[in-house]
């Protein structure tokens, strides 16, 4: 499977302009594909997907907005229009895009518009940013399937939208749960999502 081309922007608060770049997937990563998912606070879903087999990299950042190279503060204010997202690099010969989505729809609440729990705002919306027509079709099929199976009692409101650009968040956001597991937010909010994933999808653990 040939991965789609995509734009990635690395954000550094100390030197924003010099870190903005546009790049395509390297040729030597032909076996890799990209998924871009928004499910509330990116710390939460990053912690889940880091544990999934076939996933080689998970980065927290922003997508779906109108401002170039936004800071975390600008995204949190709602002025940039971005959602907090994770960008997942995975090997589709080991774990499929459909499996990624099934986990995604299990570990966050896709039925609450512009919020996850106490986190409220458009930056916390549920969204799948597809990289090609195949990803769009799979996302729509998974949503239809989970709606029919009533995984959630309320309607799924997840946005399915074309991917445009990814802006990597500041360094302290990366691997946040791994580096801050003892903090109250990690114990109260993130840890239950990781536990839920481990129980429901043990066969997908690394």
Catalytic residues: 41
Determine the Cα–Cα distance for residues 159 and 18; give it in Å rounded to an integer: 32
CB distance 34 to 88 below 8 Å: yes
Longest dimension (CA), the chain: 48
Q: Which residues have C-beta within 8 Å of that of residue 148, sequence separation ≥ 6?
A: none
3-state secondary structure of 161: strand
Tokens representing residue 106 in the block = 């299990």
Question: Which run of H or of E encompasses 77?
Answer: helix 72-77
3-state secondary structure of 118: coil
């Amino acid at each position: 499977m040939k991965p789609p081309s995509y734009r990635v922007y690395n954000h550094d608060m100390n030197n924003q302009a010099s870190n903005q770049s546009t790049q395509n997937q390297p040729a030597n990563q032909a076996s890799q594909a990209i998924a871009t998912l928004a499910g509330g606070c990116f710390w939460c879903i990053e912690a889940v997907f880091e544990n999934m087999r076939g996933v080689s990299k998970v980065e927290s950042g922003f997508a779906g907005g109108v401002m170039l190279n936004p800071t975390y503060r600008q995204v949190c204010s709602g002025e940039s229009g971005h959602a907090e997202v994770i960008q997942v690099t995975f090997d589709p010969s080991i774990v499929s895009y459909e499996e990624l989505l099934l986990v995604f729809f299990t570990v966050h609440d896709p039925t609450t518009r512009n919020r996850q729990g106490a986190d409220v705002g458009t930056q916390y919306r549920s969204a799948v940013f597809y990289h090609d027509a195949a990803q769009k079709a799979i996302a729509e099929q998974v949503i239809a399937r989970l709606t029919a199976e009533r995984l959630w009692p309320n309607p799924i409101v997840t946005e399915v939208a074309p991917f445009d650009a990814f802006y990597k968040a500041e360094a302290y956001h990366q691997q946040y749960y791994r580096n801050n597991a003892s903090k109250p937010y990690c114990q109260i909010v993130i840890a239950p999502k990781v536990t839920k994933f481990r129980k429901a999808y043990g066969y997908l653990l690394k």
